[in-house]
Amino acid sequence: MKFQRPLYLLFSSLPPSHSSHPFISLSLSLSLRLCVFMAPSFESPQQPEGEIASDNNTHDEVLQKSRVTVVGSGNWGSVAAKLIASNTLKLTSFHDEVRMWVFEETLPSGEKLSEVINRANENVKYLPGIKLGKNVVADPDLENAVRDASMLVFVTPHQFMEGICKRLVGKIREDAKAISLIKGMEVKMEGPCMISTLISEQLGINCCVLMGANIANEIAVEKFSEATVGYRQDREIAEKWVRLFCTPYFIVSAVQDVEGVELCGTLKNVVAIAAGFVDGLEMGNNTKAAIMRIGLREMKAFSKLLFSSVKDSTFFESCGVADLITTCLGGRNRKCAEAFAKYGGKRSFRRA
């Protein structure tokens, strides 16, 4: 039986002065016992059977290694590249190198962003102070970045995805698999279109999603977090994504509900705006808690209205209630709405 012990990891990081406190010691003891009972529900980030590192790989095994490209290099995209790069070095089923497509920009110094990332091993504009891993290679050429990649990780602003997909038609491997970390949807005259559906339909490939209570800067400094992979039919592909992302501080589980997971990551931002209004108007924590509870209920009702296949249990995963709580407490949408309400609507969301 494989399992992870996240509560133990949390408490084991406490300094001796805290862990020796009677209350903390009791909490640690209880947490360790809870881990034993909770163990089956957690995916293991350790190397699964058959993933034992070896220098004696056969030629066929080398050819079968998956190549990973991260399409996007903003704050969350850079953190995703860091997570993935730490695992590709350990898992023999993946090539070490992780390519990251960078929308090229010229920095105030006059240097190209991609060149600085490759030289400093750091995204100095969107994730300063964090080393990405020496096996992360920034590439400003989209077509070149995805060439030969069998696993594509999409993490760009949702409004750019349709244009990116059009550029990639006929440029990717036929057997490529994708995962979207994009929280949002396309709203068209004919109705809403989920980003995973856009990717699948335009590129003709399988697309899973990864959502959760994931504030990028916290994950970048390896504070504990969880995430949920949503998949449609192929559990094996979902488990491969879990292995690629899972680390001792970033625990990932999989559920068979792409639309439910993706809608959670989209709709929680609407609720967070309402929570921000509450904060800006100083209406108190009780009101904010009510907004979050009612908001979760409305998220579920709206999701089921769009897709009857959405599962109730999905809303109790990291992508659901956990992401809602995190976003309503510290997300960007909440902060903008708070500033907007505090200034009586005289300060725009853009300036907030």
Cα–Cα distance measured from residue 220 to residue 305, given in angstroms and rounded to the nearest whole number: 36
Residues ≥6 apart with Cβ < 8 Å to 65: 92, 93, 94, 95
Q: Are strands 151-154 and 177-180 parallel, antiparallel or unpaired?
A: parallel
Q: Which of 108, 147, 140, 135 is nearest to 124 (CA)?
A: 108
Task: Work out the end-to-end distance of the chain between its first and last CA atoms, rounded to an integer number of angstroms.
Answer: 49
Q: What is the DSSP code string of 112-158? A: BHHHHHHHHTS-TTTSTT----TTEEEES-HHHHHTT-SEEEE-S-G
Is 268 tagged catalytic?
yes
Cα–Cα distance measured from residue 314 to residue 200, given in angstroms and rounded to the nearest whole number: 22
Cα–Cα distance measured from residue 156 to residue 153, given in angstroms and rounded to the nearest whole number: 10
Collapsed DSSP state (helix, strand, coil) of residue 218: helix
The catalytic residue among 177, 183, 240, 268 is: 268
Q: Which of 327, 339, 350 is nearest to 265 (CA)?
A: 327
Helix runs in the chain, H state only: 6-12, 16-19, 22-38, 59-63, 75-88, 113-120, 142-146, 161-168, 195-203, 216-220, 235-245, 258-280, 285-306, 323-330, 332-342
Longest Cα–Cα distance in the chain: 67
Cα–Cα distance measured from residue 240 to residue 243, given in angstroms and rounded to the nearest whole number: 5
Cα–Cα distance measured from residue 343 to residue 280, given in angstroms and rounded to the nearest whole number: 8
Count other Cβ atoms within 10 Å, centred on residue 309.
13
Q: Annotated active-site positions, please?
A: 268
